[in-house]
Amino acid sequence: MAEEKPGRRVDQDHLPRAVGRRPRIFFTNEARDGRDQAGNHPGILRELSRHIRRPLRLAVGGSAALILPGYLSRPTEDIDVVDEVPAEIRSQHALLDQLKDRYGLEIAHFQQHYLPMRWQDRLHYLDTFGELTVYLVDVYDVFLSKLFSIREKDIDDLRALTRHLDKDTLIRRLHDTTGSMLVAESLRPRAEQNWYILYGEALPT
């Protein structure tokens, strides 16, 4: 039976310094037109941190939260930050354009209501780059958020993730943290369809 990968879980507003061994981190994007797309190191985060003058914290979700620790191996065009990109970052338009051109990656954002309840309590510390501290949304939370999606690339991610995750843990998390999604008429059918595609059975109730 698979176990949840260990990680440092932190409170929503806590901002520790880097400690311990760094996890293996990589983006798998191939260089376009000779540009480095972060290869085997989070170069875009390091470069971004050079332009930050006060402590900032990013919670990264979406596919980047799966690619960085190695659950997925596929290209991505975005680093998706939960809720909003801090003003100190999003106001640096020229820098963001340069980073997008150099790495083929855009710093984007999505709203936290797409995530399971209490996702903040399950964040995993990634690393600290100068004044920038980065956390990753838990892999089970990312899986469940994608379970309610109709996008084909999210279905592909779900299929790739099933071999890494414990099904019993998924079912428990589904019941405990996605209640508001399950009662939404527009969302539940998506989860039912995707669960059937993945496991060949009805969505657990």
Q: Summarize pLDDT for 144-154 with one digit per residue, the tens.
A: 999 999 999 99
Over residues 99-145, the pLDDT tens digits come to: 999 999 999 999 999 999 999 999 999 999 999 999 999 999 999 99
Q: Residue 46 burial (CB < 10 Å; 0-12/13-18/19+)?
A: middle
Give the sign of the dihedral formed by CA 190, CA 170, CA 152, CA 145.
positive
The pLDDT value given to residue 21: 34
* Residue 75 pLDDT: 87
Q: pLDDT by residue (tens digit) across 61-110? A: 999 999 999 999 888 899 999 999 999 999 999 999 999 999 999 999 99
pLDDT at site 74: 87
What pLDDT score was predicted for residue 148? Answer: 97
Between 196 and 2, the higher pLDDT residue = 196
What's the pLDDT at 131? 96
Nearest to 69 by CA among 6, 135, 37, 25: 25
Q: Give tens-digit pLDDT for 12-41.
A: 333 333 333 333 333 333 333 333 333 434
Q: What is the pLDDT of residue 179?
A: 96
Sheet of strand 132-136, all strands in order from the earlier edge strand to the far edge = 9-10, 123-129, 132-136, 56-61, 78-82, 106-110
DSSP summary character for residue 61: E
Instruction: Return the pLDDT at 12.
Output: 35
Is residue 122 within 8 Å of 46, Cβ to Cβ?
no
% of the chain exceeding 70 in pLDDT: 80
Average pLDDT over residues 167-182: 97
